[in-house]
Amino acid sequence: MLAFALPATYFVVKINVDADLMLAKLSPYYDKIYEPAEDSFLLLDLFEEIGATVANNKPRLVVELGTGSGIVSTFLNQHILKNAFLIATDINPHCCHAAIATNAKNAATVNFDSIQGDLTSSLRPASVDLLIFNPPYVPSPFVPTVPESAEDQTWLDLALDGGNDGMAVTNRLLQSLGKILAPKGQAYILFCARNNPSMVAEQFLKDHPSFRVEKMIERKAGWEVLSVYLFQNTASQKDR
């Protein structure tokens, strides 16, 4: 069971009794990155539950899109996928710095890096064995534009506002999923109920018959219902 505390200087997330994740110092990132919240903890709970299965798949390249604080990537690196190479990406440069710092305070390994980029734009086709995405899923009138200055106070909006039905950013990823995942590659994507994830999954399967889709976990978090779906590319190398 996850517990979350906020001391004066650090975030600390406890997973059972033997796994403490310490996030980077709040300053200078605290007002520009997405702090760990219920959606972050849902992903942590899921990977704690299915960690052995994920490890047995032996993914070589693991990518977390929209890494925020880097807590999910760091947990995978520290406890589940110690032999994989993990890349934490975010369009927000402050998140990239925070992810590096979070990993350094916990796993302190060399198989972890962070890249600033727009979704999968910096990745090679058919290269990702495991992808994780906690997107901006809140319905909003529009998706914010990328600030021109690193000191702009609107960077955090990019982590929250998902446009119409909260799906504008997620739909862009889904359109590229068939190209970016390696054969047998998997993507774990988080949704809120207002995204209509069951309908999204149904339409995705119609457009991508070589995939399978499965709801892995669902939880009520305050007034929102959150879920994580697995999208797996079942095509083999010879099918490509």
Domain encompassing residue 221: 30-239
Q: Is residue 167 part of a domain?
A: yes
Amino acid 139: pLDDT: 84
Residue 17 has pLDDT above 60, yes or no: no
pLDDT at 177: 96
For residue range 50-107, list pLDDT tens digits in order. 999 999 999 999 999 999 989 999 999 999 998 999 999 999 998 999 899 889 888 7
Mean pLDDT of 183-188: 98
Burial class (CB in 10 A: 0-12, 13-18, 19+), 197: buried
What is the reported pLDDT for 5?
A: 30
Residue 213 and residue 72: Cα distance in Å, rounded? Answer: 21
Tell me the whole-structure pTM to 2 decimals: 0.87
Q: Residue 4 pLDDT more than 80? A: no
* Residue 179 within any structural domain of the chain: yes
How many domains is the chain built from?
1
Would you place residue 235 in the very low, low, confident or very high pLDDT band (cuts 50, 70, 90)? confident
Given a contact cutoff of 8 angstroms between Cβ atoms, the answer to whether 184 and 127 are in contact is no
From edge to edge, which strands make up the β-sheet containing 211-221?
112-116, 85-90, 61-65, 128-133, 181-192, 224-233, 211-221
Q: How many CB atoms lie within 10 A of CB 182?
A: 21
Position 25 in a domain: no
Is residue 202 one of the residues assigned to a domain?
A: yes
Please indicate, yes or no, if residue 46 is contained in any of the structural domains.
yes
Does pLDDT of 26 surpass 60?
no
**Between 237 and 16, residue with greater pLDDT:** 237
Q: Looking at per-residue confidence, does 12 or 153 come out higher? A: 153
Within a domain: residue 65? yes
Domain with 36 in it: what CATH number? 3.40.50.150
Model confidence pLDDT, tens digit, residues 111-167? 999 999 999 988 999 999 999 999 998 888 887 777 777 776 776 666 776 788 999
Q: Are 99 and 91 in contact (CB under 8 A)?
A: no
3-class DSSP assignment, residue 74: helix
Within a domain: residue 20? no
Give 188-213 pLDDT, tens digit per residue: 999 999 999 999 999 999 999 999 99
Residue 175 lies in a domain: yes
DSSP symbol at 108: -
- List beta partners, residue 213: 231
